[in-house]
Structures are given as C-alpha cells and as structure tokens.
A and B are shown apart, each in its own frame.
Chain A
C-alpha cells in the first residue's frame, strides 16, 4: 500500500514510500553519473592539493629559522595543517580516492596530522556519525557527549556551561575529537566501563606521542636557539587549525532548521529514507572556491552526507541538482552565508544552555507515543513542508 506512513521521517513530509524510493533513485542517478566520470582531473586535483600542502608544510617549518618571518611561518604551517586535515585527510579517509589505487591516498592506509588516530576516527565518524546521522541517542556527534545541541536532549544544570564547553571544545578540537571515542560521558553515567576503553587508550596515546614529539620536541629542537619560538609557532598552527575545523564542522549539522530524528522513526530505513535523512540532518554554507577547498568542501555538507565517498571537489557541481530535487520533494535544503550559519549555531549553543526555552510550541494534534513528535506532517506554506518544531 502506498500511503503516507507518519511513523517515518518521510511521513513528516507527507511523502509515501513510493515517492521516497523515487527520490532515492534520482539521488542514485546523480551519484552514478559522477562516479562513472571520475578520472584524471580528479586525480590531478588531489595530487595538486597534496603538493601544496607539503609545500606549505616545508615552507612553514623552514621559515622558523628566520625569526622575523615567524608570523608567515605560522600562517604557512596553519594552512598546511588545515589542508591536511580537511581537503586531504577527511576526504581520503572517507575512501573518496580509493578508486585511484594509490596507497598514499587510500582510506585504509592514510593517517592525518592530528592527535586523533585515523583508524579510530573512521569508526566514530565514518561509521557511527555517517550511518546514524542526527539520530538522537545514536549519533554521538550531536553535542559530542558534552554539549546540548538539540531541544530533545533533556536539560540539566550542567548545560548552563554550554557556551564555555563549546569554546573549550573549539580551542582543543583535535583533542576533543580524539577523546570523543572514549565516551567519557557514558562512563560517568555508568553505561560504559573503563575496561572497554583500554584498547582505544593505547591507540590514542601512540598517536598523541607521535604528534607531540614532532611538533613540540623535534622540530623546535632542530631550530636550536629559536626552539621556544618554534614551539609556540607549532602550537599556534595547531590552534588555528582547531578553531577553523571546529567552526566548519559545527556549520554542518547545528544551524537552525537542521532536523534530528528518533530511533523509532528511523528503524528499518530503506536506502531512499537514508538519503532523505542525510539531507534533512545537514547544512551547507556558501562561499568561493578557496573557502570550499579550505573547508574540505564540508561547505557542501548535504552533498557530503549523501555521497561520503565521492571526491569532494564534485559536490559543487551536483549541489544545484540536489537543491532542485529538494524543491521537488518539499525538503528543506539548509544553506546560507558562512557567517549567518555560524551565527545561528552560536545562538543555538547559548539558547540551549537554558532549560526548555528553545522548544517552540509544537502544532496541536496527535503526537507519537513518548517522543512528543507531531504525527501529522505540517504543510507550512502549501509548498515547502518543514517540520513545525524545527521552524
């Protein structure tokens, strides 16, 4: 029977299972077209980015021998670290360049210039976050276990510190990402034992040692009398990268209008449903080619979530098609300028520090048992259907 099933995510939008499957097929067609077309230009692009990244890195390290150029050295190293983590690391570890058959660009072998071991990140990010995107209780990227980033997360006095935690997370972002998998909050609340963390600990410590040895011991020592300057410079470059990455990533899922989902409504999802949820749970921001490259093309978070293993430089070319599809099926395609998206993220962080306040009145009508979700999809303006509680 092809009727709207209100207990699913698509049901909120008044779409029938058949419509969802049609939508899924259209998404797949876009994917197939691009994936079949991958070739030399994509390979040349990522190799060029790697070349630039290595160039900036070597230049940065070398400029520390010339103290007057310290700011330039830091800038150069920061750019190198940002490229390494975003356009190269994040994307390569998603398997976007596995088709090239080059071990240097292969998701199984790549590791990034970051204290979080790639191996571990691929589990928490590629698997957990990308599979269970924005499902409350399953996607630990909603607030990373320390922040309140969604109305549905019950308030607790602890969350009064929301803005402070967010600021600290920004400053120590790479450490936050590394420690994320230890699920400290679950140890505190008793659902996870310290024992379960043992194997993770070892991996993190190995990586932390490597990174610290390089940036905080060896390279400073190599610059002899300038060691303290180099030390501070390396720390600054890591900080710049942290602040940058944090802001880019927070723009991906936390601006106003991004939806979250319950485990119940995402049970037994079809592939079409999965695509549907990826779009609703992500947000883009606009900018020029340089901004896209420096953000690892996570400015196209929606396209990235649909096709995590598609070379990211292709997102820009398919974004208009995805946006058109969204219009056709009445889905919100969440995008805006980087500053307005960031502003809305910051507002959310502050707002959700306080109890309840963020929750707007839901539309009257039946609600799903236990979740408080409206059961009847809300036709807001006759064309675009937006979930009432998120509007």
Chain B
C-alpha cells in the first residue's frame, strides 16, 4: 500500500489529474481509497447507556479510517461529516465535531467516537439510531490542542485533574486510556458528573479502572450538578494541579469560576501565564442579542442577488439564512472554517473568544461572528 500511496501522492499523479485531484478519481472506484482525504467506514455501533426511555442515548462508534488518517493525540477531536440519505434535503453532508474516545491512534488505525444522540439533532441522532456498519463517513484529520501534552513533546505532568460532565467525558476517556496504556507513573483525579448511573458512559471500564491500583482515582457523581464545593471535597489539591474540563457550557463556566484565572507558574494570565485549567466546549455559548443595531448586507459570489436586513444580533450565518440565503457552513461552531467569508466593512464580535475586529476585507467565520452595528459581507 505504501508504494501505491507514494505514487498517488506524487506530483506526477497530481499533474495528471489536475485540476480535480487524485481523490476525485479514486473515490469513483472505492470510497476507502484516498490519497489525501480522510474517510472512514463504520465498523460497529454499540450502545453505551441503558436508561429506559432515555431520549438521548449514547453509543460508541468504531471507525476504520482510510490509510490517510495520521492518527490522533488523546483529547483531540475530528470533524465528521455524514450524508444523510433519505427524504427532502437528503444527500446533504452535515459535519459536526466529535472527540476521539479511544486511546491515541497511529496512522490508519481504528479509533472510536462516543456520541450522545441529541433528540432534535441531525448528526448525533443519525449516528446513534440510523447509521449501519459499512456506512462511509467523511473525516478531517485530528485537530485541537485540548490534550494532556499541549505542545507536542512536553512531558505529561505527574499530577492532573479531569472534570467532565455528560458526553464531555469523551476526550477525558481517551486521555485516561492512553495514560494507562503508557503505564503513566503519576496520579490522575477523574471527576465526572452524570445524570444517573444509567446515563454513565463507559461504566464498566471506569469501575475496573477505579478498582485497580493504577494511579487513577475515579469519582463518579450521579444526579448532582457541579459545584466548587463538591470538587473541593473530592480533590482537595485541585487548585494547584493542571486540570482539563469538558462538558455543557453552564458547567464549564462554573469550573472556570472555581479556577478563577489560576496559572501554572503564578504569572497572571493577561501577562502570558499559562492557565491551570484547559477547557473545551461542545457547543458555542448563547448570544446576547439585546442591543443589536444597524443593518447587515450580504453579496453573493454565485451571481445570485444578495440581501440586506436589520441586524438582529444573531450570528452572520443565522442572519444570512434568515434573509433567505444559504451560505456554506459545516460545524457552525467556529472550528471547521467552511463558512469563511469576506467582511468588506463593519465590526464583528467573535462569540467564542469575545474579541471584536473591525479590519476591512477581513476573512471571518460567519458562524461565530456577531455583527456589532452595520456590516457588509461577501458570501
């Protein structure tokens, strides 16, 4: 395979298949052949949670990626796109981010994602309820630096805390599984909040880890919401060790309060100190649209007429859609860059970081850009 791969990735192959590229030809023969792109075949789908009448069950999905998969580091996520096949609007590829839940993978190696089926969701519901082994999904390479070794090569700290809630457990599972496989000599406090024992993801495995003598303390909290006091009681030294938190936005905000801007070496965060707490949101925070003003206008590169409307304070993507346009998007949470468009004028606020920018002719991700006053965008 590797000689074939080298040939297929060569400049000669690119020149012969220009301007479309090698993958555009290979995919016509076999969707699991690729020179550059990453796709995966669903190998199996297994239920994780067993609550009766659970509106949002969780399943772990094993994926066999194409040989182009470069592997992942624990805590990273992939963009996964599914073409949902039936009915109106079918055959549309919809992409969402999912953390890899299995231990670190190497090139071409199988890995898993663990998905909570959002009852009104598009992708998660499809993956848990409707997808079948054999289905092909589209992937990005692993991305994100929500990892226990934020910079490649950095040693893993000897003491660390993971605080997770709901399906936010997935990146932490990958971290713990990886550390155990590597016979990590330090000590981990693994704190997880779930609705009930029936909603607990990876319950058996966590019980086994907890029972074994391996440096991982597992604290499963069921039927309670996160509080700083609870964390204090479970992990008394948590304010002095590096922590990773992932879960619902409301919980993450509370965890952030509990860690209020503590940094690794005491240098204040605004002077470059590295925060003690690393967080990952599964969903972008909700916008404050109260004091929106001005107008937003969109022009289209497709030749179709644009549109203009009053600024409602929603993201530019939502405002464009409300005006009847259908701009390109993928994740809708600022991570995939499918929605990048040029802002010709106006100021926008990045709803994830809170930063505003006013530069003209700037490329912005419209899914996480909220116009502050009037704004002009070329889609």
Contacts and interface: CB of A to CB of B under 8 A. Distances in A.
B90 A210 contact: no
A38 B15 contact: no
B302 A309 contact: yes
Contact of B16 (A98, A99, A129, A219): A219
Contacts of A185: none
Given A54-B25, A113-B19, A214-B15, A126 B93 contact: no
A294 B338 CA distance: 31
A274 B305 contact: yes
Listed residue (A40, A106, A118, A129) with the most chain B CB atoms within 10 angstroms of its CB: A40
B328 A106 contact: yes
A256 to B, nearest CB: 25
A130 interface: yes
Contacts of B290: none
B29 to A, nearest CB: 10
Contact of B90 (A39, A213, A214): A39
Nearest to A112: B19
Interface in A199-232: 207, 210-211, 213-214, 218-219, 222
Listed residue (A51, A99, A101) with the most chain B CB atoms within 10 angstroms of its CB: A101
A108 interface: yes
B16 A40 contact: no
B interface, size bucket = 20 to 34
A95 interface: yes
B3 interface: no
Contacts of B330: 101
Interface in B93-113: 93-95
A39 B91 contact: yes
Contacts of A129: 303
Listed residue (B18, B300, B304) with the most chain A CB atoms within 10 angstroms of its CB: B304
Contact of B18 (A106, A126, A210, A308): A210
A210 B15 contact: yes
Contact of B303 (A40, A94, A106, A113): A94
B88 interface: yes
Contacts of B89: 38-39
Contacts of B86: 40
Contacts of A95: 300-302, 304
B205 to A, nearest CB: 35
Interface string A280-297: 000000000000000000
Contact of B301 (A55, A104, A126, A271): A126
Contact of A40 (B28, B90, B302, B326): B90
B15 A213 contact: yes
A43 B91 CA distance: 6
B87 interface: yes
Listed residue (B93, B305, B326) with the most chain A CB atoms within 10 angstroms of its CB: B305
Contacts of A38: 89
Contacts of A123: 301
Contact of A218 (B15, B91, B300, B305): B15
A99 B303 CA distance: 15
B16 A43 contact: no
Interface in B75-94: 81, 83, 85-94
Contact of A102 (B16, B19, B25, B93): B93
Interface in A37-78: 37-40, 42-44, 50-51, 54-55, 58
Nearest to A126: B303
B12 interface: yes
Contact of B305 (A40, A98, A99, A271): A271
A100 interface: yes
Interface in B290-324: 300-305, 324
Contacts of B27: 104
A43 B304 contact: no
Nearest to A54: B28
A112 B21 CA distance: 11
A122 interface: yes
B24 interface: yes
A111 B19 contact: yes
B352 to A, nearest CB: 22
Interface residues of A, number: 52
A158 interface: no
Contacts of A44: 91
A101 B90 contact: no
Interface string A71-113: 0000000000000000000000011101111101011100111
Listed residue (A51, A94, A118) with the most chain B CB atoms within 10 angstroms of its CB: A94
B308 to A, nearest CB: 10
A304 B81 CA distance: 30
A13 interface: no
Contact of A107 (B19, B302, B305): B302
A125 interface: yes
A167 interface: no
A101 B94 contact: yes
B92 A99 contact: yes
A122 B299 CA distance: 13
Listed residue (B16, B20, B24) with the most chain A CB atoms within 10 angstroms of its CB: B20
A384 interface: no
Interface in B272-303: 300-303
A309 B19 contact: no
A286 B24 CA distance: 33
A375 B94 CA distance: 53
A127 interface: yes
A102 B328 CA distance: 10
Contacts of B304: 94-95, 130, 307-309
B305 A37 contact: no
A63 to B, nearest CB: 16
Contacts of A32: 324
Contacts of A104: 20, 24, 27
Listed residue (B88, B91, B92, B95) with the most chain A CB atoms within 10 angstroms of its CB: B91
Interface of A: 32, 35-40, 42-44, 50-51, 54-55, 58, 94-96, 98-102, 104, 106-108, 111-113, 118, 122-123, 125-127, 129-131, 207, 210-211, 213-214, 218-219, 222, 271, 274, 307-309
Pairs of residues from A and B, 9 with the lowest C-beta to C-beta distance, nearest first: A43-B91, A130-B303, A95-B302, A101-B93, A308-B303, A126-B303, A111-B19, A40-B90, A309-B302
Interface of B: 12, 15-16, 18-20, 24-25, 27-28, 81, 83, 85-95, 300-305, 324, 326, 328, 330, 338
